[in-house]
């Protein structure tokens, strides 16, 4: 006699319900967001270092004689950025509210230097040459705008609500100054990312559709103006609309990227086995690293990267929804719009659904100027995740982490949390005071 559990209808249904209940229980845990941010960031960073080594080795060998040249530089940036992320994860949210103002000021000064004395490459003037390194002020400007804009609106919050009219002054002029300065450097891609951050703040505040639509219309006019006034941008649009018709000209990079993606198949040619990185794809280690990833790791590799960015975006939005502080809600949403939006633009350009804008894939592409602010922003999200209900208690109950244990083993740490202090000497009962150890 068969039971209900053995029936073909009830069995799969019951199993699906059990799995859904287990998933809900996992998502309800207070440290789920915290571990999602750490895990996704670590996996993307490790994958990025691996792909930078693979994608840049041939060109680095040809230009410098050292196949590890760009990999070493990216590793140094990661070696600096991970401690920055760790420090930011331990800072209170009040620090980030204050930090947006000097960061905005420094970004504006840096963008001014770029306009008058910056290095120009491939039609865009983005970099400041400082000896052995290049600085790109537009990258920290993204973090500065997110923090400064979030604090401006949070200070004007009343009863947890923020009036959209507060967007007009001074947030809109401040964003316009940054965007115009970046546009003067002919960097359309970064301008679009800055506007994504601004629009995310606009969305969280609950601005009316008319204001939202008006700003999008102004952005569209500005983009059309920038495209029509620069010949190389018009060529990019032509190459995007018909890449195979201009395969030896404006569509060359897009065509080579699509060849790389198509060559990878389901599981790729194998790590390090890319053929397109042999001087076929321009900027394979930065703007088009996703195409090399698709060629070497296949469709499964590209879907894994997209899933990691999706989980990272979900974690940031989860922080925004579960923490009541207006500043945290706004800053978290702005960081998600920045990181996830930039990933969408980069991946869309590689697969041909968006024009090529020349912006990197966060955490994966080569470039220390982009990597450091991104890791700092993710460290800030970790700090915010600790303010979720029950997160601090769960972290305290977990005990000391690996770093604290390592320091304690070296005799450099303080008292270990969550572990009873061991007595240094057995003192006979009944004897106290200075004669107790005689």
Percent of the chain with pLDDT over 70: 81
Distance CA 299, CA 321 (A): 32
Sheet holding 119-121, edge to edge: 119-121, 124-130, 133-135
Q: What is the pLDDT of residue 424?
A: 44
pLDDT bin (cut points 50, 70, 90) of residue 224 is: confident
Q: What is the pLDDT of residues 306-362, one digit of tens each?
A: 999 999 999 999 999 988 889 999 999 999 999 999 999 999 999 988 888 888 999
Sheet strands (E) in 347-438: none
Instruction: Specify the length of the chain in residues.
Output: 438
Distance CA 224, CA 218 (A): 10
pLDDT bin (cut points 50, 70, 90) of residue 436 is: very low
pLDDT bin (cut points 50, 70, 90) of residue 204 is: confident
Q: Is residue 111 pLDDT above 60, yes or no?
A: yes
Q: Is residue 18 pLDDT above 80, yes or no?
A: no
Query: Of the given ranges (84-88, 109-113, 123-127), which has the lowest mean pLDDT?
Result: 123-127
Q: Is residue 430 pLDDT above 50, yes or no?
A: no
Among residues 325, 339, 314, 319, the alpha carbon closest in space to that of 146 is found at 339
Q: What is the pLDDT of residue 435?
A: 43
Distance CA 371, CA 359 (A): 12
Q: What is the pLDDT of residues 52-107, one digit of tens each?
A: 999 999 999 998 889 999 999 999 999 999 999 999 999 999 999 999 999 999 99
For 43-51, what is the mean pLDDT?
Answer: 96
pTM for this entry: 0.84
Beta bridge partners of 119: 127
Q: What is the pLDDT of residue 295?
A: 95
Among residues 340, 317, 338, the alpha carbon closest in space to that of 329 is found at 317
Q: What is the pLDDT of residue 77?
A: 94
Structure tokens, 79: 């070696």
Residue 157's Cβ-side half-sphere holds a number of Cα atoms within 13 Å equal to 20
Q: Is residue 281 pLDDT above 50, yes or no?
A: yes
Distance CA 94, CA 232 (A): 44
Distance CA 395, CA 287 (A): 38
CB 388 within 8 A of CB 322: yes
Q: Is residue 238 pLDDT above 80, yes or no?
A: no
Distance CA 435, CA 31 (A): 49
Q: Is residue 438 pLDDT above 50, yes or no?
A: no
Residue with more model confidence, 209 or 107 = 107
Q: What SS3 class is residue 425?
A: coil
Q: Is residue 420 pLDDT above 50, yes or no?
A: no
Q: Which residues contact 280 (CB under 8 A, 6 or more apart)?
A: 256, 259, 260
Rg (CA), the chain: 25
For 205-211, what is the mean pLDDT?
Answer: 81
Among residues 171, 180, 165, 173, the alpha carbon closest in space to that of 210 is found at 165
Helix-strand-coil split of the chain, %, nearest 5: 70, 5, 30
Q: What is the pLDDT of residue 434?
A: 39
Q: What is the pLDDT of residue 428?
A: 42
Q: How many other CB atoms are found less than 10 A from the CB of residue 388?
A: 21
For 292-309, what is the mean pLDDT?
Answer: 95
| Mean per-residue pLDDT over the chain, rounded | 82
CB 292 within 8 A of CB 280: no
Structure tokens, 248: 């030896």
Q: What is the pLDDT of residue 244?
A: 85
Distance CA 144, CA 277 (A): 35
Put residue 399 in one of left, alpha, beta given phi > 0 → left and psi -120 to 50 → alpha.
Answer: left
Instruction: For residue 263, give Cα distances in angstroms to 57, 116, 258, 365, 400.
Output: 20, 43, 8, 21, 47
The one-character DSSP state at 119 is E
Distance CA 160, CA 157 (A): 6
Q: What is the pLDDT of residue 14?
A: 74
Q: What is the pLDDT of residue 160?
A: 52
Q: What is the pLDDT of residue 417?
A: 45
Query: Of the given ranges (88-92, 111-115, 285-289, 425-429), which has the lowest mean pLDDT?
Result: 425-429
Q: What is the pLDDT of residue 354?
A: 87
CB 342 within 8 A of CB 327: no
């Amino acid at each position: 006699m068969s039971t209900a559990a053995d029936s073909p209808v009830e069995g799969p249904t019951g199993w699906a319900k059990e799995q859904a209940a287990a998933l809900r229980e996992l998502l309800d845990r207070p440290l789920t967001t915290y571990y999602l941010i750490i895990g996704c960031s670590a996996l993307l960073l490790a994958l990025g270092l691996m792909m930078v080594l693979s994608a840049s080795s041939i060109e680095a060998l040809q230009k410098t004689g050292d196949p590890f040249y760009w990999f070493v530089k990216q590793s140094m940036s990661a070696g600096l950025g991970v401690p920055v992320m760790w420090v930011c994860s331990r800072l209170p949210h009040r620090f980030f509210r204050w930090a947006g103002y000097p960061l905005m000021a420094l970004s504006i000064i840096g963008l001014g230097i770029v306009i008058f004395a910056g290095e120009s490459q491939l039609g865009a003037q983005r970099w400041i040459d400082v000896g052995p390194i290049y600085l790109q002020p537009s990258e920290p400007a993204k973090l500065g705008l997110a923090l400064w804009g979030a604090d401006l609106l949070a200070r004007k919050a009343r009863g947890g609500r923020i009036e959209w009219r507060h967007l007009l002054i001074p947030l809109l002029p401040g964003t316009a100054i940054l965007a115009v300065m970046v546009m003067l450097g002919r960097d359309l891609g970064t301008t679009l990312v800055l506007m994504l951050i601004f629009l995310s703040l606009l969305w969280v505040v609950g601005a009316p559709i008319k204001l939202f639509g008006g700003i999008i219309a102004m952005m569209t006019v500005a983009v059309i103006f920038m495209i029509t006034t620069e010949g190389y941008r018009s060529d990019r649009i032509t190459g995007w609309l018909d890449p195979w018709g201009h395969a030896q000209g404006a569509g060359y990079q897009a065509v080579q990227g699509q060849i790389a993606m198509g060559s990878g198949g389901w599981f790729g040619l194998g790590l390090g086995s890319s053929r397109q990185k042999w001087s076929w794809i321009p900027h394979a280690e930065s703007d088009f690293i996703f195409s090399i990833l698709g060629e070497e790791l296949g469709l499964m590799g590209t879907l894994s990267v997209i899933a990691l960015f999706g989980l990272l975006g979900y974690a940031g939005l989860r922080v925004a929804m579960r923490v009541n502080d207006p500043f945290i809600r706004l800053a978290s949403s702005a960081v998600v719009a920045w990181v996830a939006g930039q990933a969408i633009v980069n991946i869309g350009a590689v697969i041909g659904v968006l024009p090529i804008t020349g912006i990197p894939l966060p955490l994966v592409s080569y470039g220390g100027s982009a990597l450091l602010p991104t890791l700092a922003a993710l460290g800030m999200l970790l700090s915010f995740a600790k303010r979720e209900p029950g997160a601090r208690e769960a972290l305290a109950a977990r005990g000391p982490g690996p770093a604290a244990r390592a320091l304690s083993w070296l005799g450099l740490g303080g008292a270990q949390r969550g572990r009873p202090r061991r007595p240094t000497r057995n003192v006979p009962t009944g004897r106290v005071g200075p004669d107790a150890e005689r």
